[in-house]
């Protein structure tokens, strides 16, 4: 389990946000839905998570990449 330090603009403090899953866990998530490969790289996944995407959103983007869309066009 990973955490990300987030600045809270409302009160000027910080808090920890739990990251939904690690890349290997994301690969297992994709495998459960029939993927035999991972359409996005671990760096792309980390970028999405750091940008605030949850695992379902990352899955949707991975599906789009698998369908032929460029990762850079989707974000």
* Whether the predicted model's global pTM rises above the 0.85 cut: no
Q: CA-CA distance, 57 to 48, in Å (whole number)? A: 9
Flag whether pLDDT at 1 surpasses 70: no
**For residues 66 and 35, is the Cβ–Cβ distance under 8 A?**
yes
pLDDT of 17: 67
Position with higher pLDDT, 4 vs 33: 33
What pLDDT digit, counting tens, does each position of 21-68 carry?
A: 789 989 998 999 999 999 999 999 989 988 888 888 999 999 999 999
């Amino acid at each position: 389990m990973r955490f990300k330090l987030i600045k809270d603009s409302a009160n000027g403090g910080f808090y920890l946000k739990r990251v939904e899953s690690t890349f290997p866990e994301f690969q297992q998530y994709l495998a459960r839905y029939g993927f035999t490969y991972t359409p996005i790289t671990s760096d792309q996944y980390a970028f999405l998570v750091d940008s605030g995407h949850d695992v379902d959103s990352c899955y949707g983007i991975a599906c789009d990449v698998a369908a032929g869309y460029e990762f850079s066009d989707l974000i």
